[in-house]
Structure 1
Amino acid sequence: MPRFLALLLYLFPLLALAEPAQLRIQGSNTIGAGLAPALVQGLLRAQGAMAIEQTPGAVANESEIRARDSQGHPVRITIAAHGSSTGFTALASGEADLAAASRSISDDEAQRLRSLGNLRSSRSEHVIGLDGVAVIVHPDNPLAQLTITQLAQVFSGQVQRWEQLGVPGGAIRLYARDDRSGTFETFKALVLDPHHSELAAQVQRFESSETLAERVRADRQGIGFSSLATVHGAKVLAIAEGDAPAMLPRRALVASEDYPLTRRLYFYLPTNPRPLAQALVEFTQGPAGQAIVADQGFVSQQVKALPVPIQANMPPRYQALAGEAQRLTVNFRFQEGSASLDSKAQRDVQRVADYLRQAGKLQRKVVLVGFGDPKDTPGRAALLSRLRAMAVRRELARDGVETREVTGMGDELPVADNDVEQGRLRNRRVEVWVY
């Protein structure tokens, strides 16, 4: 008997290690390095779990969270953060229950995963927060801003010396995330692809945003890009796109998605998700989850009202609005080629209605301002921008919001480059102002 008990004591730890995980998260390093573990632990605490413990995995950028639920049953959650594309691959192979991605699912990925349902539907695609891809240099670099075109020229190797950008420094050294990274795919889609450029061969690549930012901060000749949450003392450059002014990735500009290199952070679920995966998504969308998103250095989707300084280039009626009202930190955007609200906007309708209800502003305190891109037919841009604002008004009305005014400003005040399709999509937006 003593030998049998000794054998059991030896086997118990091995059995625990073999215990299947109740939730397997794979994908984005931006999300998986810190945000996903923090959200998981927040959910477990909200559910009354005890003895919550996180340990690193056997492989870099992997971790495991163990706990006991409110009934004392063991809970095990694994996180592997090797890049957004790896999350979709793991969903396809059945090795993940939830994919974390720092860019939206591609057409090829959505097609490959169609057996799991329509992953672009509001049931499967969940925006959990926002991030700005920050372009970073050494703290002593005197450069203040770059255009998207200049960025493409730098990272494709067409511009190779700092002097070509108007500052001293000699040869430019490039730092970028690896090909599996959603951060890189976002940068490629927003910067390189519109200029038909490829990443220069001499660039140094990193799986980790943290490591990349540390290297740039230590290199006087370096330039790189990382998540806003992992800048860590490097200097951040303002970025200009098209006719829009140069913008730093300030939180309000990222929240409204006006900053040119704003990106959305996602959780993707199959149509029939595991209960714990669904619970994590719902927790993340709520106030407690969004507070964790902000605590981790990202931009939450909690709605706030902020004053907007009056600028000389603003049309007179917009100046009057800025002088009397405040703008909410959310823009409504639309599905590509459609007047339907996208998956984030559908959630934002509820968030805006909740904010207005709590602020006592449900009745005639809201102005919706629609914007668009230029059209060949005179007056068409103004008409379409107003129709977009009216679409938002209809959705808000279902939650008891009676708007004060709906207006369309056409192609005025662009926030992106109208010469490229992605820029035109970003300019098609609806702002919310409150008195």
Structure 2
Amino acid sequence: MFFPRAARLAALLGALTIPATSALAQDVTLTSRDGAVELSGTLLGFDGEFYRLDTMFGELTVDGSGVTCDGPGCPSLTGFVARIGFSGAASMADVLLPALIEGFALRNGYDTDRTQGESADFTYALSTPDPKTPVATFSFRVTNSDEGFADLLADEADIVMSTREIRPTERTLAHDAGMGDMTQANRSRVLALDAMVPVVSPENPVRAISVPALAQVFAGQIANWQDLGGPDAPIVLHLPEAQSGFAQAVTDRLLVPADLPLAADIRRHPDSRTLSRAVSLDPFAIGLASFADVGAARALMLTGACGYGIAATRRSVKTEDYPLTAPLFLYIPARRLPQVARQFLAYTTSAAAQLVIRRAGFVDLAAERIPVGDQGTRLANAIRSAGPEVSLRELQKMVQVLAPLSRLTTTFRFEAGSARPDAQSRSNILQLAHALEAGTYDAHRLVFAGFSDGEGAAEPNRAISLGRAQAVRDAVVAMAEASGLQQVELEVAGFGEALPMACDDSEWGRQVNRRVEIWID
């Protein structure tokens, strides 16, 4: 159940000092079986096994098997039904999460019953058949990423659906409310991948645009198609609603790195699908749409002054080689969720779930192999860039190491101006660690291959790229707590600027080039 917005904001403001509580929360007393210990407080939640209590000592989690509960708020221990609240981005709640819940239910033999609530909100009830016994309800409040985080901070949601990263203020509020560091891999989970794709009408003659020029277009500094090689006509800008996580990600990923403000004269749309449809009908329009919603519009290739170009494809988005990749996040606070919720979250990382994600139109996270023979463009770029800094001998050394191997789509990149892996890469570290624990790569050799941008001298760049490769390998090994890593060879190599993915004449290009790839025999 969700509060009115006024109550939700009041709880958010109070989250800095006291834990937020639900309107339905009631005082209870938990007593140990021998009667020696008694604990009173406000019941915040019960997951079927553990009580979560707001007490004079702070928020506590108590094992239900060792206590008895007294008070009007005490839950039933025999007919327990798990209740999990999702809140946030409409683009994730529209198709993706329902498809995953249906897949999870089918895999576990549950029946599902969807009930439509007010506006776009809805609830899934899961039950066992014959006899029909309720197991869980998944409630969805469908708004945007901002509202999702507000609901989490007000203790009105268990999981946030977000198409952008958590803001620093939200991160601080969550930490101070006892929810942990929401940027850690176990709190911030990449569910699937999307991308911000520049789209135009099929009648528009422009085929490609550089990222710096795209930023200037949406800042209003380039206002005529003639400046992009098109007709002498004004450029009409289209974006989703300003409150949507997708639109906020456009500002974060495209305009902030270029230190440019967003233009004021922009036509807004309720969702990406509507945007693409409108752009496809206007030969002078340009918009940024979801990879899943390009539709009848035509996607522009991203290019640079040095001649490199890359299109938004499932593979380029999955490797994050496409520079405007947009992860879809689930944010989960540091508290125990009901068992069925934990099972659902585990399912979302399974091979079966990756097929569901792909069929929903998004890019899945399953690691794929890319043979050297499929990487002709990358190797051509390497040869084209060879010169005094990167000699033919250096390229030959790189090819000698990588030619017998295949590249995995699991790639690691770093936050701008930082050695810290970005949000998608932090999720990739966890994913690769789990795969190593499961024995997926037993009897194989994995090479962590580091690459750098072309700024500075070649030798220091090789050292930097090797250091990044070692850091990523160490992070993966540290995350893989289970034994068995001796069954796989983990090597590192640093090739500096030898294999560029983009032009080094812009910050986005340099950031794309700074990466660690995984190659496997």
> 1:3 maps to what in 2?
none
How far off its partner does 1:39 sit? 1.4
> 1:16 maps to what in 2?
none
| Residue deviations 1:310-344 (CA, integer Å, cap 9, x gap) | 33332333445564332111113457744679531
Which ranges of structure 2 fall in alignment gaps of 5 or more residues?
1-80, 383-394
Contact 2:92 2:161 in 1 (8 A): yes
Letter in 2 for 1:134: V
Identity of aligned residues (%): 28
Output the CA distance in 2 between the equivalents of 1:233 and 1:283: 33
> 1:295 maps to what in 2?
359
> 2:349 maps to what in 1?
285
* SS of structure 1 residue aligned to 2:133: coil
Contact 1:67 1:76 in 2 (8 A): yes
Output the CA distance in 2 between the equivalents of 1:285 and 1:104: 19
Distance verdict in 2 for CA 1:340–1:269, change over 3 Å: same
* SS of structure 1 residue aligned to 2:221: coil
Distance verdict in 2 for CA 1:328–1:401, change over 3 Å: farther
> 2:409 maps to what in 1?
329
| Residue deviations 1:268-291 (CA, integer Å, cap 9, x gap) | 111114324433321111212222
Contact 1:333 1:345 in 2 (8 A): no
Contact 1:82 1:207 in 2 (8 A): no
**Which piece of structure 1 moves more, 392-401 or 172-181?**
392-401
| Residue deviations 1:336-379 (CA, integer Å, cap 9, x gap) | 74467953132232365379x55xx6445433311124565763
Output the CA distance in 2 between the equivalents of 1:89 and 1:242: 42
Among residues 149, 152, 157, which one is paired with 1:91 in the alignment?
152
* SS of structure 2 residue aligned to 1:264: strand
**Which piece of structure 1 moves more, 215-224 or 406-415?**
406-415
| Runs of 4 or more above 6 Å deviation | 419-422
Letter in 2 for 1:278: R
Contact 1:328 1:434 in 2 (8 A): yes
Distance verdict in 2 for CA 1:147–1:424, change over 3 Å: closer
**Which piece of structure 1 moves more, 330-339 or 153-162?**
330-339
Greater Cα radius of gyration, structure 1 or 2: 2
Among residues 431, 434, 447, which one is paired with 1:348 in the alignment?
431
Among residues 62, 66, 70, which one is paired with 2:121 in the alignment?
62
1:304 paired to 2:368: yes
1:46 paired to 2:127: no
1:80 paired to 2:141: yes
> 1:33 maps to what in 2?
94
* SS of structure 1 residue aligned to 2:137: strand
Among residues 418, 432, 435, which one is paired with 2:518 in the alignment?
432
TM-score by length of 2: 0.72
How far off its partner does 1:238 sit? 0.9
Letter in 2 for 1:309: Q
| Residue deviations 1:66-113 (CA, integer Å, cap 9, x gap) | 332456116432223322222111111122110011121121110111
Distance verdict in 2 for CA 1:64–1:244, change over 3 Å: farther
**Which piece of structure 1 moves more, 90-99 or 242-251?**
242-251
Contact 1:244 1:413 in 2 (8 A): no
> 2:247 maps to what in 1?
184
Output the CA distance in 1 between the equivalents of 2:334 and 2:294: 36
TM-score by length of 1: 0.85
Distance verdict in 2 for CA 1:80–1:422, change over 3 Å: farther
Letter in 1 for 2:492: V
Letter in 1 for 2:364: S
Contact 1:174 1:202 in 2 (8 A): yes
Output the CA distance in 1 between the equivalents of 2:203 and 2:145: 33
Distance verdict in 2 for CA 1:279–1:383, change over 3 Å: same
Among residues 239, 243, 250, which one is paired with 2:313 in the alignment?
250
Contact 1:217 1:233 in 2 (8 A): yes
1:399 paired to 2:485: yes
Larger relative contact order, structure 1 or 2 (CA cutoff 8 Å, min sep 6): 1
1:164 paired to 2:164: no
How far off its partner does 1:151 sit? 0.7
Q: How many residues align?
A: 412
Contact 1:373 1:418 in 2 (8 A): yes
> 1:316 maps to what in 2?
396
Among residues 293, 311, 322, which one is paired with 1:230 in the alignment?
293
Letter in 1 for 2:495: M
